[in-house]
A and B are shown apart, each in its own frame.
Chain A
Amino acid sequence: DTEVTQTPKHLVMGMTNKKSLKCEQHMGHRAMYWYKQKAKKPPELMFVYSYEKLSINESVPSRFSPECPNSSLLNLHLHALQPEDSALYLCASSQGPAVGSYNEQFFGPGTRLTVL
Chain B
Amino acid sequence: DAKTTQPNSMESNEEEPVHLPCNHSTISGTDYIHWYRQLPSQGPEYVIHGLTSNVNNRMASLAIAEDRKSSTLILHRATLRDAAVYYCILRDSRPGKLIFGQGTTLQVKP
Contact = CB atoms under 8 A, between A and B. Distances in A.
Interface of A: 4, 31, 33, 41-45, 48, 50, 55-56, 90, 92, 94, 97-100, 102-110
B96 interface: yes
Tier of interface size on chain B: 20 to 34
Nearest to A112: B41
19 contacts: A4-B43, A42-B87, A42-B100, A42-B101, A43-B100, A45-B98, A45-B99, A56-B96, A94-B96, A97-B97, A100-B30, A102-B34, A102-B49, A102-B91, A105-B98, A106-B46, A108-B43, A109-B42, A110-B43
Interface in B1-51: 30, 32, 34, 36, 41-46, 49
B97 A45 contact: yes
Interface of B: 30, 32, 34, 36, 41-46, 49, 87, 91, 94-103
Contact of A102 (B32, B45, B94, B97): B32
**Max chain A Cβ within 10 angstroms of own Cβ: one of B44, B96, B98, B101:** B96
Contact of A43 (B41, B44, B94): B44
Contacts of A100: 30
A50 B44 contact: no
